[in-house]
Structure 1
Amino acid sequence: MKVTIAKGASEEEAAAIAEALAQNFRNEVEVYVRGAEEPAATADGSDLPKPESEPEADDFGPTEREGELWAEIEEIELGGPEKYKQRLPDQGKLFVRDRMDLWFDDGLLFEDGKFAQFDADDQLPADGLITGAAEFEGREVHFMANDFTVKAGSMARHGVEKFLRMQQRALKSGKPVLYLMDSSGGRIDQQTGFFANREGIGKYYYNHSMLSGRVPQICVLYGPCIAGAAYTPVFADFTIMVEKMSAMAIASPRMVQMVTGEDISMQDLGGPEVHAKDTGSADLVARDEEHARELGAKLISYLPDNADEKPPRAEPKPPAKSPEGIDGMIPREPNRGYDMVELIERLVDADSFFELQAEYGKEIVTGFARLDGRPVGIIANQPAHRAGAIFPKAAEKAAEFVWKCDAFDVPLLYLCDTPGFMAGSQVEKEGILEQGKKMIYATSSATVPKQSVVIRKAYGAGIYAMSGPAYDPESVIGLPTGEIGIMGPEAAINAVYRNHLDAIDDPEERAKRTEELREEYRHDIDIHRMASEVVVDEIVPRVRFARNSSTGSTSTKTSKRTCRARSTAPSSKLQTDCIVFRTLCPS
């Protein structure tokens, strides 16, 4: 069999095509570069054994036309020039089709527009963008993946059309979307036909907005994504960046230098550390390509295919650490710190807690977990960081996480231990009122079931933001260390009794009176007082979990919220010394 491939193909590419065709047809193959009289490569597959499952051949053998087509397909799948592929290992990257093999173990369900730009004078395989559908972790997903070996993964007319088709299919099918991004942005020298058109690159972001809250959108960054390419990760519901590889920014360092005079590296401008710690745009940071895939697999395991379905269940597991140790690990003094993550691990199924945005707004912990095999979203104050006071970034982080959980029917568990919203000139400049409003609004408007647990202190508007009694939780549970009040004892005494105490000349008498007032105030805000007034539903000496097949009451969702504004809950029942968490959604 003789086949001809495009002019300019390298010997390595010709050899790869010859070998693939020989194995496919089990025949002798000669591959010619267009215009050449001698074959660039040959391969013989005539002696290869026939697969057991292959049907018997009839009188019609493989035709030259078929051979030509397979050669074209093989050539397209080789991607851009070999010299660009040879640079990828030095950058820690996989070739895009190897990356797809990593993500999609069983291959693709289909690929769309493979032959885009095949007949162009400047042949651009698949126009630098692969789109289609595949199976990922047993789930059908739509995907796009930039080929960085083709014009640095840049976008032009046909690639844009393929991207839009993929998004529109996702809107119709209600299946999740994976964006495997490695793009330098739009091709400036070819912008006619895709930049400002009604069905051009701007429609990406319209479709992102329509998909938000409808199906999960997960974006993984494998390189520097600049300008238009940087919007897809921030429009996605969840974004994963890769260390020393990913970056995203509104303009490249060269453009920044030209416009502002600032000399800055790509990593300092928009690398993973910037977006994990400073902007919150990165939900997760992976060590390498394999780790990125692991994070994506774990993330999607908590999410339904779309907003009309329930999150997937898993096999129930007991907590990794004994729940009976919870009261012992919580300091009695309200200002002493401890790690809330350790408490969470005593509540949820072993190895199920999956924290998001761990380095952003660290005063609040957000993440998915499972209770009795069912996904929940956890919002917990973190006393190990600034006493768990709510700062602007933490409030924004919590609000966005609540919106995501509400969109995808993931119930919410609030673990409250906070002195309230932070005060001071700096946080006022950072918008503490505005961001605090967002957190309270998100909690108020959430349509999924919510459970609030007062772990220790619940001062000021912190109890509002953490789904306290006024915010329609299924119930409010208190641990014996709990306190609910306008402010803590020290601040209250200073605010109310400062003049009274200053009038006492004897230091010992003043200290004695201060302690008396402190204890009086603490009695007034103690969780037992709150329970006696039915502010909280129950106080429990310790927390553990019991299996319960009852579905309890149900909550009717009245609306779907968008996931990102840049955008069942456990119930409880007292059984001697335990809280029984029961899902409120049908099994």
Structure 2
Amino acid sequence: MAPYSSSGVKKLKNEDDGASWKYSISKLREVQSIIRTPNPNDPGYARQKANGKLWVRERLDALLDTGSWVEIGSIAGKPVEDEKTGEIKEFIPGNILIGWGRLKGKKVFVTADDFSVRGGHADGGIYGKVPHGETQAWKAGVPLIRLLDGSSGGGSVATYLKLGATYIPALAGLAQSMEALAKIPIASALLGPVVGLAAAKAVTSHFSVMVKDLSQLFAAGPPVVKQATFEDLSKEALGGWEIHARNGTVDNVCNSELEAFQQIRDFLSFLPPNIYNVPPVESSNDPQNRREEELIAIIPRRRARMYDIRKLIRLIVDVSSDPTSSAHSTGSTFFEIGETWGRSIVTGFARLSGRPVGVLSSDCAVGGGAIDALASQKTARFVNLCDLFKWVRCELLCMYSTDYKTKSIPLLNLVDQPGFAIGSAAEKSATIRFGASAMSALYSARVPVFTVILRRAFGVAGGAFGFPDDNYNNRVAWPSGDWGSLPLEGGIEAAYKRKLDQTPTPAARDQMIKDYLAQFEEVRSPMRTAYQFGVEEIIDPRDTRPLACDWIVHAYEQLVPLLVARKTASVGFTPTYKL
């Protein structure tokens, strides 16, 4: 049977009265009714349900506000009519749905693959619907949500016979995707095998989430891989969540489709609808002057000991008042992005006094917090995301001068950075090259930044994270601060290598190191740095939230709307987002 059949669909009255358009409307409604009524006997639909997956229209109902879906191209597809009566017997629709919807009352645009129709390959107007949809989203200035399942319009060799020729791949909608990427938030949910063009769309998003044991991602599927490389792999072994959630191809993972939809809602709740608007401010009952006693002892006195950075973050940011939020179970507004990859760096969004803020920090429990190649990529990606929602080009004042208005997501920068990862594995993975991309993002970003040096700031990486070079940035340190060109323990080994090598016994060598450490212990106090104004202020950790809240209120009221004069020789300057 066809994917959609007229059998079982209630016939609408369609006699032509010769005076109005009621007959035409009744035919339209009949076609829409056929398309929107699933055929349980269709193999594609049955496979979708057997695999524990929602049907595409069930997904839209679960994602969007009730009754808010307004479809575009609702009857695009291939009708099969009865030769005698002219009635539609069956219908092969376009295997992607596009249209408008709302999340918590705010308008969004959605493109949703229907894997039950030929696995999402290019059929039924998909080449027109996809670019039209993505263009509509950025021109309307609303977030774009992609529900990916299949190839999202990618090709199939079966099409060659249908066309009678091969073709140069047109990549439906990808050019429009690149345009949208620099103007509106884009979030993608991977809800099945995501292959080829759909895989490219997944990674050209500002946020992506895949479902454990339900979704996979690959440039080409197992049959093509087997032919090309002789690897006989399952979908999960080739591109399951354990691969892509750890290599940074996708940002987050979850346990169900409904959880993926909630993560998308949470992600978009922190962002403006486009680069021309400020981030959304919500009311908060969490007092700005809340002082958490736990913060005074959360950093261990012994420098080698670990602590829970996520707990520290939750103690500073707003308490969650939204019971539907993914982070609500933690009692916090902190929504982490990329927890499973680049794990020595922690990134995410939260709220301070109801205002969205990006959170950037290190996790000392992973490699001591040293930043490696993946963590560098993660840092650059997140800082660039916060920096994206920044530029609005105003009226051109003259040929070489343009005014810009900053509408950015401020950054709470919590620093405990021992430096770049070292050793042979770090060198083989080109840590310093990827580290340069992180430094470039930090130094070129023009978002307001509030930096708190929690503990370490060593070497090049420590300097980049701990010394943001911009007039709109504020910096304080905790009394646990510890910084320098090198950590003392390793630095002493390097600085006094000759003397250490001349000691007669290993015990004597160890004693000499201890003696040097004792000499340096007093000068490493952050108080000494503050005496010379090498750090602007050392604060009581319990004052961090009040100070951060005061900063972000000022940032949203004064810095975010600030007109910044910028000179450029390029009249048509257009900022771009770097993946």
Does the pair score TM above 0.5? Answer: yes
Deviation at 1:94, TM superposition (A): 1.1
Gaps of 5+ in 2: 82-88, 320-331, 390-407, 567-572
Given that residues 6 and 90 in structure 2 are in contact (C-alpha distance below 8 angstroms), is that contact kept between their aligned partners in structure 1? no
In the alignment, does 2:299 pair up with 1:300? no
In the alignment, does 2:309 pair up with 1:340? yes
- What are the superposed Cα offsets for residues 134-179 of structure 1, whole Å, 9 maximum, x if unpaired? 1122111111111112111212472121110111112211111011
Q: Give the structure 2 partner of residue 129 of structure 1.
A: 96
In the alignment, does 2:309 pair up with 1:328? no
Q: Taking structure 2 as the reference length, what is the TM-score of the superposition?
A: 0.82
Q: Which of 177, 201, 206 is 1:237 aligned to?
A: 206
CA distance in 1, matches of 2:362, 2:253: 22
Given that residues 476 and 538 in structure 1 are in contact (C-alpha distance below 8 angstroms), is that contact kept between their aligned partners in structure 2? yes
Q: Give the structure 2 partner of residue 579 of structure 1.
A: none
In the alignment, does 2:450 pair up with 1:412? no
Q: Which of 402, 415, 418 is 2:383 aligned to?
A: 402
**1:475–1:535 CA distance, 2 compared to 1 (3 A):** farther
Q: Give the structure 1 partner of residue 52 of structure 2.
A: 92
Q: Give the structure 1 partner of residue 236 of structure 2.
A: 267
Given that residues 4 and 92 in structure 2 are in contact (C-alpha distance below 8 angstroms), is that contact kept between their aligned partners in structure 1? no
Given that residues 467 and 473 in structure 1 are in contact (C-alpha distance below 8 angstroms), is that contact kept between their aligned partners in structure 2? no
Q: Give the structure 1 partner of residue 29 of structure 2.
A: 70
Q: Secondary structure at the match of 1:466?
A: helix
Q: Secondary structure at the match of 2:78?
A: coil
Q: Give the structure 2 partner of residue 251 of structure 1.
A: 220
Q: Letter of the aligned partner of 2:192 in structure 1?
A: G
Given that residues 156 and 187 in structure 1 are in contact (C-alpha distance below 8 angstroms), is that contact kept between their aligned partners in structure 2? no
Q: Give the structure 2 partner of residue 378 of structure 1.
A: 359
Q: Give the structure 1 partner of residue 116 of structure 2.
A: 149
Structure 1, 462-471 or 158-167: larger mean CA deviation: 462-471
CA distance in 1, matches of 2:369, 2:3: 61
- What are the superposed Cα offsets for residues 508-536 of structure 1, whole Å, 9 maximum, x if unpaired? 77655433421333433432222222221
**1:202–1:522 CA distance, 2 compared to 1 (3 A):** farther
Structure 1, 460-469 or 301-310: larger mean CA deviation: 460-469
Q: Give the structure 1 partner of residue 325 of structure 2.
A: none
In the alignment, does 2:476 pair up with 1:477? yes
**What RMSD in Å do the two structures reach over aligned CA positions?**
3.1
CA distance in 1, matches of 2:157, 2:3: 28
Q: Give the structure 2 partner of residue 285 of structure 1.
A: 253
**1:509–1:434 CA distance, 2 compared to 1 (3 A):** closer
CA distance in 2, matches of 1:358, 1:71: 47
In the alignment, does 2:302 pair up with 1:309? no
**1:433–1:120 CA distance, 2 compared to 1 (3 A):** farther
**1:67–1:434 CA distance, 2 compared to 1 (3 A):** same
Q: Secondary structure at the match of 1:330?
A: coil
Given that residues 44 and 118 in structure 2 are in contact (C-alpha distance below 8 angstroms), is that contact kept between their aligned partners in structure 1? no
Given that residues 248 and 271 in structure 1 are in contact (C-alpha distance below 8 angstroms), is that contact kept between their aligned partners in structure 2? yes
- What are the superposed Cα offsets for residues 378-435 of structure 1, whole Å, 9 maximum, x if unpaired? 1101001111011110111011000001112211111111210011222112111111
Given that residues 3 and 44 in structure 2 are in contact (C-alpha distance below 8 angstroms), is that contact kept between their aligned partners in structure 1? no
Given that residues 241 and 285 in structure 1 are in contact (C-alpha distance below 8 angstroms), is that contact kept between their aligned partners in structure 2? yes
Q: Give the structure 1 partner of residue 7 of structure 2.
A: 14
Given that residues 283 and 356 in structure 1 are in contact (C-alpha distance below 8 angstroms), is that contact kept between their aligned partners in structure 2? yes
Deviation at 1:63, TM superposition (A): 5.4
Q: Letter of the aligned partner of 2:273 in structure 1?
A: D
Q: Give the structure 2 partner of residue 554 of structure 1.
A: 559
Q: Give the structure 2 partner of residue 37 of structure 1.
A: none
Where do residues 135-284 of structure 1 align in structure 2 (5 Å cutoff)? 135-156=102-123, 158-184=125-151, 185-190=154-159, 201-202=170-171, 204-277=173-246, 279-284=247-252
Across the two proteins, how many residue pairs are aligned to each other?
520
Pick the structure with greater CA Rg.
1
Where do residues 107-126 of structure 1 align in structure 2 (5 Å cutoff)? 107-108=67-68, 110-119=70-79, 125-126=92-93
Deviation at 1:312, TM superposition (A): 0.8
Gaps of 5+ in 1: 1-7, 31-59, 568-587
**1:17–1:461 CA distance, 2 compared to 1 (3 A):** farther
**1:157–1:65 CA distance, 2 compared to 1 (3 A):** closer
Given that residues 185 and 274 in structure 2 are in contact (C-alpha distance below 8 angstroms), is that contact kept between their aligned partners in structure 1? yes
Q: Letter of the aligned partner of 1:331 in structure 2?
A: P
- What are the superposed Cα offsets for residues 186-207 of structure 1, whole Å, 9 maximum, x if unpaired? 233336699967xx74352222
